[in-house]
Amino acid sequence: GKPAYNGKTYNVATFSDNNFFYDRIMEKNDFYKNNVPTLQGVNYKIAPYHVLWPVPASAQRFNTSGRINQNKGYVGYEANVPAKDAIE
């Protein structure tokens, strides 16, 4: 990939582990960068995989013609199957 202004290079294969959006939030957002606590005393937390939402279980369950994998970091990811590389 093309290097970003921060000197890091990102790619799709490691998006859930290392991505520009996460790095930008950690750089610019005081709540995450400075561990600002909520009124209840809990610190805001974020991980690189949080830039993707979890795939709803209902979407996975009702897709009877194929398989929808879960995004990395969410419950169900461990049951993912490799994507097909050819149309049958």
CB of 16 closer than 8 Å to CB of 72: yes
Q: Examine residue 2 and state whether it is found in any structural domain, yes or no.
A: no
Q: Examine residue 85 and state whether it is found in any structural domain, yes or no.
A: no
Provide the pLDDT for residue 64: 83
Q: Examine residue 5 and state whether it is found in any structural domain, yes or no.
A: no
CB of 48 closer than 8 Å to CB of 18: yes
Residue 22, token pair as written in the block: 């996460």
Provide the pLDDT for residue 86: 86
Provide the pLDDT for residue 88: 74
pLDDT per residue, tens digit, the chain (88 aa), is 789 999 999 999 999 999 999 999 999 999 999 989 999 999 988 999 999 999 999 998 888 888 899 999 999 999 999 988 888 7
Q: Examine residue 21 and state whether it is found in any structural domain, yes or no.
A: yes
Provide the pLDDT for residue 1: 79
pTM comes to 0.78
Q: Examine residue 66 and state whether it is found in any structural domain, yes or no.
A: yes
Q: Examine residue 23 and state whether it is found in any structural domain, yes or no.
A: yes
Question: The domain containing residue 65 runs over which residues?
Answer: 12-79
Alpha-helical runs (H) found in the chain = 20-28, 30-33, 57-62
Name the domain count of the chain.
1
Provide the pLDDT for residue 83: 84
Q: Examine residue 42 and state whether it is found in any structural domain, yes or no.
A: yes
Q: Examine residue 72 and state whether it is found in any structural domain, yes or no.
A: yes
